[in-house]
Amino acid sequence: MINQTSYNINTSNGPVHLTITPINQLLSNGDYYVTGIFKLSDGVVGMGDITFNEDMSEWDYNGIDELTYDEAAEVAEFIKSYKDLEGADPDQLT
């Protein structure tokens, strides 16, 4: 995932419109490094991070009672299977 995206999830507290922002680092050679960290927010309210290991086979969620394990697992699966639009430009990171 290069650019941020949105995801709607029905949580135990009702529907939430998540903004998922990938944390990518610009390296000195001009390439982008995908850190595997994705910040979750509902509007301006931060809801924690989902962090993947290198091959995205395992993840961890650090939100405090924001999402249940199953809800975080649903978001992690969405992130894992997400495909950027063709021509997505990492210079346009939002």
Q: How many CB atoms lie within 10 A of CB 29?
A: 5
Residue type for position 49 = D
For range 47-76, the mean pLDDT: 94
Distance CA 91, CA 32 (A): 9
Note the pLDDT of residue 94: 44
For range 25-50, the mean pLDDT: 90
Mean pLDDT estimate for the chain: 88
At 87 the three-state DSSP class reads coil
- The region of weakest confidence among 28-32, 34-38, 42-46, 60-64 is 28-32
List CB contacts of 11: < 8 A, sequence separation 6 or more: 67, 68, 71
Note the pLDDT of residue 42: 93
Q: How many CB atoms lie within 10 A of CB 4?
A: 14
